[in-house]
Structures are given as C-alpha cells and as structure tokens.
C-alpha cells in the first residue's frame, strides 16, 4: 500500500470510508477490507458507526498498530470540555486507547477556532490521538488553524472528484506540509456515466472506479477514501497501485472540472469556499 507522508505522519493513500454506512454493513465490511489489505479506516462521531468500526477492527484479526484509524469531532462538541469528553466517548466506542488521526469535521464559527485547536492539541498532548487535522476548511481557515496549532496539522479532508477543481486547496496544503484527503471521489456516482472516464477505463481494461481512485492517489500528497458495501467492489477498489495514468489521461480527467461541480455544501456548516481556478 502506497503511503502519503505529511508533517510527520505516514498515511495509507487509500482509505476505507464509512459515511452513511449502516451498522450491519459496517460490521461486515470493516473486517473484510482489513483482511484484503486495507490499512486505513475513516469514520466520524456524526456517522453513528464508531462502535461498529471498532468491533470490525477487532474482528478482523489485524493488529491495531497496523491500522491507521481516523475519526472526526462533530461541531456540537467544539467547546473545550465537551470536545475532550466526546473524544473519550469516541475512543470507548472504537475500543481503542488512541486514534491515528483526529479531525475537526466542519468549521463552526460559534466557537473560536483557537478554542477548537486548543482542545485538539490537548488530546494530542495526552496521547489520545497521534495526529491532528481538519476537514472541509477553506484555505483561510487552514492557514489560521496552522498558525494556532502547536501540533502539526497533517491533512484537510475535502470533497474532491473530477468535477471539482481543488487546486487552490491542494497548493495551500502542500505549502503547509499537509496532505489532502479526498471524499466523494465518485461524485455521488456521476463518474460512472462519464464518457471520458469510461473511455479511459475501457482502454486500460479497468473499472471506472479504479481510474478515478488512481487519478486521486497519483496526485502528489493526496489520499483517497473509497466506500462500498460490496466485497467484490472493495477488492477492485484496492487494485489501483499496479498501474499509472498517463499525463494526457490525468489532464483529460482534470478538464472535467466545472464551476458548479461541488456537491457537498450544507447550509450552516460550509465555509465560503475558495474559488476554483478552472
């Protein structure tokens, strides 16, 4: 498994995402993908499946120390004391005494960012989290968080797929020594009907999902989260490290970006996004 090194962390470049994954599917798929060779699992407090992720890790038979586990603190828990209590609750559900990466899930200007980062640093200093980062932050918030944090931030987890130009965020992350973690890589299923990607997949003898995941992980400093409730698809999604896309193929996929390509933009949570370059 390829890894991405960022500010002292070494993160498996392909992670298994569990967003909107029901309990039964989580209990079935987490041990399955870990047995396949996945070593990065992503969850969050708001997903409601941390307990099943923890049980799945135990049931996999894979040593906890070999797994890179990420969870995220929900915005309602950003006040310092609530933050610390919520992390303890997450660790209890996950059946572990630490997580490899803890993220602020979305911006929340009702709580000063300094207080959020202070709490993030407190659990890091206590050894409850190995690395810290943010999610769904624009570049201005990223820069502020970097300045406020004693512990280095290692990633910004954001929506990223062929229809959304995130080069501004990618450049800012690289300049700060951070990685970018891509969610919604399949653009909520839109990629499967895309003629450009389908043509590349056919020429390569690969699936559309494999082409998109390869496009993500081939980009410097970028990690892909893949989610599936199918065992066969999980196997296919992992097979993206034995080939490379050509520069022309990469550019053809980048060219699919649209000004209105963003899918995830929840009112009351989303910041003012950076304007795309294309």
- Known binding site for substrate: residues? 105
pLDDT (tens digit, 9 = 90+) per residue, 106-116? 999 999 999 99
Specify if 141 maps to a domain. yes
**CA–CA dist 157, 107 (Å, integer):** 12
Domain assignment present for residue 202? The answer is: no
Of the residues 47, 78, 160, 183, which is catalytic? Answer: 47
CATH of the domain at 53: 3.20.20.100
Helix axes 195-204, 247-254, angle to 10 degrees: 160
Q: Is residue 203 part of a domain?
A: no
**Total number of domains in the chain:** 1
The helix-helix angle for 231-238 and 23-36 (nearest 10°) equals 40
Quickly count: other Cβ atoms within 10 Å of residue 58's Cβ: 15
Question: Which residue ranges are tagged as binding site?
Answer: 105
Q: Is residue 268 part of a domain?
A: no
- Is residue 174, in this structure, part of any structural domain at all? yes
At residue 42's C-alpha, the angle toward residues 179 and 27, to 5°, is: 165
Within 10 A of 104 (CB to CB), how many other CB atoms are there?
30
C-beta of residue 161 within 8 angstroms of C-beta of residue 184: yes
Q: pLDDT tens, position by position, for the chain (278 residues)?
A: 899 999 999 999 999 999 999 999 999 999 999 999 999 999 999 999 999 999 999 999 999 999 999 999 999 999 999 999 999 999 999 999 999 999 999 999 999 999 999 999 999 999 999 999 999 999 999 999 999 999 999 999 999 999 999 999 999 999 999 999 999 999 999 999 999 999 999 999 999 999 999 999 999 999 999 999 999 999 999 999 999 999 999 999 999 999 999 999 999 999 999 998 86
Known catalytic residue: 184?
no
Q: Is-contact 183 158, C-beta < 8 A? A: yes
Q: Is residue 276 part of a domain?
A: no
Whether 134 maps to a domain, the answer reads yes
Within-domain flag for 201? no
Range of the domain at 223: 3-188+215-242
């Amino acid at each position: 498994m390829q890894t991405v090194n960022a500010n002292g962390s070494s993160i498996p470049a392909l992670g298994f995402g569990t967003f909107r994954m029901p309990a039964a599917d989580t209990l079935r798929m987490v041990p399955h993908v870990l047995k396949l060779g996945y070593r990065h699992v992503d969850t969050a407090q708001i997903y409601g499946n941390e307990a099943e992720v923890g049980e799945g890790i135990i049931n996999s038979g894979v040593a906890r120390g070999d797994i890179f586990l990420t969870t995220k603190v929900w915005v309602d828990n950003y006040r310092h004391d609530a933050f610390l209590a919520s992390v303890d609750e997450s660790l209890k559900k996950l059946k572990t005494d630490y997580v490899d990466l803890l993220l602020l899930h979305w911006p929340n200007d009702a709580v000063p960012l300094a207080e959020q980062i202070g709490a993030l640093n407190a659990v890091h200093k206590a050894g409850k989290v190995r690395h810290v980062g943010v999610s769904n932050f624009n570049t201005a918030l990223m820069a502020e968080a970097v300045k406020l944090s004693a512990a280095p931030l290692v990633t910004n987890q954001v929506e990223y797929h062929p229809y959304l130009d995130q080069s501004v965020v990618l450049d800012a992350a690289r300049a700060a020594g951070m990685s970018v973690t891509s969610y919604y890589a399949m653009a909520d299923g839109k990629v499967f009907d895309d003629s450009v990607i389908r043509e590349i997949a056919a020429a390569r003898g690969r699936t559309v999902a494999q082409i998109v995941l390869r496009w993500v992980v081939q980009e410097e400093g970028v990690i892909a989260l893949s989610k599936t409730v199918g065992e066969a698809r999980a196997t296919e999604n992992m097979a993206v490290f034995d080939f490379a896309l050509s520069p022309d193929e990469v550019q053809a996929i980048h060219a699919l970006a649209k000004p209105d390509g963003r899918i995830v933009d929840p009112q009351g949570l989303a910041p003012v996004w950076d304007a795309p370059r294309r």
